[in-house]
Structure 1
Amino acid sequence: MKRIIQRIALVLLIVIIAFVAHILISTGFFRTVENKFEGTIVKKISIPGAEDITISQSNGFALISSTNREIYPPVKEEKGGLYLMDLENENFNLTHLTASFSQSFAPHGISMIKKNKDSVYKVMAINHTLNGHSIEVFTLQDKNLVHEKTLKHTSLVSPNDLVLIDENRFYITNDHKYTDGFGKILEEYLGLSISNVLYYDGKNYTEVANGIAYANGINYDPKRNLLFVASPRAFLVKVYSRNVDGSLEFIEDIPCSTGVDNIEIDVNGNLWIGAHPNLLRFGSYAKGKKETSPSEIIKITYRGKNDYNIEQVYTNDGTVMSGSTVATPFKDLIISGNVMDDHFLILKTKN
């Protein structure tokens, strides 16, 4: 009987060790992050939590989602806003577009698409409040942002990011299946691949991809008809082709060796991604238990299935920038945002 108990105890010990090892290895715990960037910091822009940033290449401005958060996910109502930054002016002046927006507003993922030749844009922002999640829909012309409507749906369990296909259709990620309790703990620490991507056709929401570990950043390349989804918990970028009806065909996973977050696409079709090299450290930082968290920017040149390369553009131990989430290229600049810093960075690459 004693030997049976000892064997059971040994098996349990092995299971526990394997469980802990899996968590540490799969979250980048053992990775050493050095400060590396072949370029310069042009400017630090003082607004908090610039979690998502997207660019109009043709009109030379950036749209920035900013939320003043103390911990993430939030436990109290937060105040945030959308900002426009002029990229053609070296002062990089900011305009607060939602200063008069009266609703509770803590924007997260954003997307915009040009409506016509007169530089009118449709803008969508995921909004997290204590009363639930929504998508706020705006029209942007010059520096005037007008709120059109609010979209809500029960399938928006834990929305993270979205990408517009046209003025009425979009894809959106849910980064969790479970939002509280033991299910959420297992999902996060075991890296369960159970989150999804939804497609909104202008009337209905349909699940078009699932089996994703923390579906996060999402973007669409219309020239190649490819949809890219970040899975930071699995250190992957997932590649899909888009069908006429909005459904997706899985092509492949791109292993990135880092916790990929938001995805931006440059004029040449390259993917630029802000990332978290150490997810456990980031988790502690986001909960206010650590002062810093490492940052990384990668660039993926994707030429087709099994034909890509990944370039490490920027790494920092967290002392200059913590918790990087997005890297948006404009000419020789990289506008890089984060979750909780009180500023974001404008970087300049070497020619």
Structure 2
Amino acid sequence: MLKKITKLTLWIIALILAFSLLMAWRLGVFVTINEKKPETCKPIYLAGSAEDIEIDYKNGIAYLSMLDRTGLIQGKDVQGSIGKIDLKNMPWVIENAFSGNGLENFRPHGLSLFGNTVAAINHPKNRGDALESIEIFSIEESGKLIHQKSIASELIDSPNDVVLIDEKKFYVGNDKDLNLSSLEKIQEQMGRPYSSIAYYDGNQVSIAIDNLSSVSGIDAIDNQYILASETNAKRLAILKRDFESGRLQKVNTFSLNGSPDNISTNGNSVIVAQIPSVFALIQHFIAIQKGEYIPSPSKIERLTWSKNKNDLEEETEILFLSKGVDLSTASVGAIWEDTLLIGSITDDKMYVCRLGE
């Protein structure tokens, strides 16, 4: 009997150890960061962190989702804004595109731009109780944004990013299911798909696809295909649109070495911000709560879309990989001409790097 108990105990210990190692691997505990950065990079300091950046390539304007997210993590009552940069005029200067005035609460997250319309995710102060919303803006000739309307739905329950497919319709990535049990939350961290993408057709909201693994970024590569970050599964989902219903079908996936966040597309270029180590990111957030600072690594990678195959090419290029001392928690990368703009979850600056040197 003692031998059986000992054997069972050893099996339990082995299973716990195996599970712990698996979780450590998934969280990036053992990741080694071999930095790779352009020779010329400099910060542009902001009033808050720019978690998302959208470039209006036609007019040469970058829009930034700005919020004191460090203050938010520390429990402060913060109000955000949307900044803008005229990319055609040097030196670049941050201006207000929308100050938040007119909205009782404005805590922007993901941004999207189509034509003369900008959409921004707006989180309520009491998340989980009040409805999340998507704020719709029109763009003035000056590049300033005029608030037009708010769209809210119980199906948009944990929005992280949004993509406009025309000036009236959009998809929203929900990064988690708010009704999971403790066991399901552990399974979610291991990559089990519990999140969804909602679709607004100009009149109502529906679920376009579910069973995705934590959608933290979403963008349209063309009028037929949508790319979505499955953050906990360390991959991109390639989704095909049904034009009539708006439903999405997963047709393929593309594996990454990091946990993807925001996606920026322009032509066949796909720029993906990634979290190299989720463990380091968690440590970073815990330190901020204590009023301290521990850097978290940053990664920006360029992928290429093949129109002939309707798929992503296997060959990729790392544009920026850092241990986080210069810029922590990179959440978005966007390219204007030969310059890479990098935004962060928590750092109150945008990093600007010259490519090709």
TM-score normalised by the chain length of structure 2:
0.90
SS of the equivalent of 1:129 reads coil
SS of the equivalent of 1:12 reads helix
- CA distance 1:306–1:44, change in 2 (3 Å): closer
Q: Unmatched 5+ residue regions in structure 1?
A: 115-120
Residue 74 of structure 1 deviates from its aligned partner by 7.2
What residue number does 1:118 align with? none
- CA distance 1:286–1:255, change in 2 (3 Å): same
What residue number does 1:293 align with? 296
Residue 186 of structure 1 deviates from its aligned partner by 1.8
- CA distance 1:3–1:291, change in 2 (3 Å): same
Q: Unmatched 5+ residue regions in structure 2?
A: none
User: What is the Cα-based RMSD across aligned positions, in Å?
Assistant: 2.0
For the pair 1:311 / 2:329, whether they are aligned, the reply is no
Kindly report structure 1 stretches of 4+ aligned residues shifted beyond 4 Å.
71-76
Residue 308 of structure 1 deviates from its aligned partner by 3.2
Number of residue pairs matched? 343
For the pair 1:104 / 2:67, whether they are aligned, the reply is no
SS of the equivalent of 1:253 reads strand
Residue 79 of structure 1 deviates from its aligned partner by 1.7
Write the deviation string for residues 92-149 of structure 1: whole angstroms up to 9, x where unpaired.
Answer: 11211222344211100011111xxxxxx21111111223321111112123321111
What residue number does 1:330 align with? 336
Between stretches 172-181 and 104-113, larger displacement belongs to 172-181
Opposite residue 109 of structure 2, the aligned amino acid is H
SS of the equivalent of 1:171 reads strand
Separation in 1, partners of 2:198, 2:39: 38
For the pair 1:147 / 2:150, whether they are aligned, the reply is no
- Give the share of equivalent positions with the same residue, in percent: 25
Residue 45 of structure 1 deviates from its aligned partner by 3.1
Residue 72 of structure 1 deviates from its aligned partner by 6.9
What residue number does 2:24 align with? 24
Residue 217 of structure 1 deviates from its aligned partner by 0.4
Separation in 2, partners of 1:274, 1:71: 23
What residue number does 2:165 align with? 165
Separation in 1, partners of 2:42, 2:189: 38
8 Å CA contact 1:176–1:184 kept in 2: the answer is no
Separation in 1, partners of 2:76, 2:158: 17
TM-score normalised by the chain length of structure 1:
0.91
- CA distance 1:187–1:134, change in 2 (3 Å): farther
What residue number does 2:5 align with? 5
Between stretches 283-292 and 105-114, larger displacement belongs to 283-292
Between stretches 28-37 and 295-304, larger displacement belongs to 28-37
8 Å CA contact 1:65–1:109 kept in 2: the answer is yes
Separation in 2, partners of 1:34, 1:283: 20
Separation in 2, partners of 1:77, 1:335: 28
- CA distance 1:247–1:171, change in 2 (3 Å): same
